[in-house]
Structure 1
């Protein structure tokens, strides 16, 4: 790698909501959840990535041309399971 070449580690999370779940999830609640996740990541960034000089927080919709994805099923809870 040449000197001065930018290096970026991107970590993504996708949270899936079961199509059968009819709960109305307001955008404000999603925005608060994203803010909570962001604050926790920023709170530990200095410790877990001491070599990083900045963190970019990106919220976006994507149309992926290629995708290497792992999906992990979370345990059932009263909030994520259709009645």
Structure 2
């Protein structure tokens, strides 16, 4: 949480690397961990120059097993605030 006005200020960027359902290849955890560590190191190496106001970063690594994915994208009505001018 940010000091001062109490407003939480967190910027999150996510990447999803999808494995095709029909892929029979064994995905080795150690190889994935090494790849994630390398990706995190490279992003953090850029962070000081790109986000000089940030005081910390949180790196989250997680596997998601989506047995079902029932997401729907639902368009909302156009308003003055969400429509390009």
Q: Residues 51 and 33 of structure 1: is their aligned pair in 2 closer, same or farther, counting only changes over 3 Å? A: same
What is the CA-CA distance between 1:10 and the residue it aligns to?
A: 0.7
What's the CA shift string for 1:3-48, capped at 9, x where partnerless?
1322001111000112232221100011001100100011000011
Higher relative contact order (CA 8 A, sep 6+): 1
State the TM-score, normalizing by the size of structure 2: 0.64
Flag structure 2 segments of 5+ consecutive residues without an equivalent: 74-85
Partner of 1:39: 41
Partner of 1:17: 19
Q: Residues 5 and 67 of structure 1: is their aligned pair in 2 closer, same or farther, counting only changes over 3 Å? A: farther
Instruction: Mark the structure with the bigger radius of gyration.
Output: 2
Partner of 2:62: 60
State the TM-score, normalizing by the size of structure 1: 0.65
Flag structure 1 segments of 5+ consecutive residues without an equivalent: 69-83
Partner of 1:30: 32
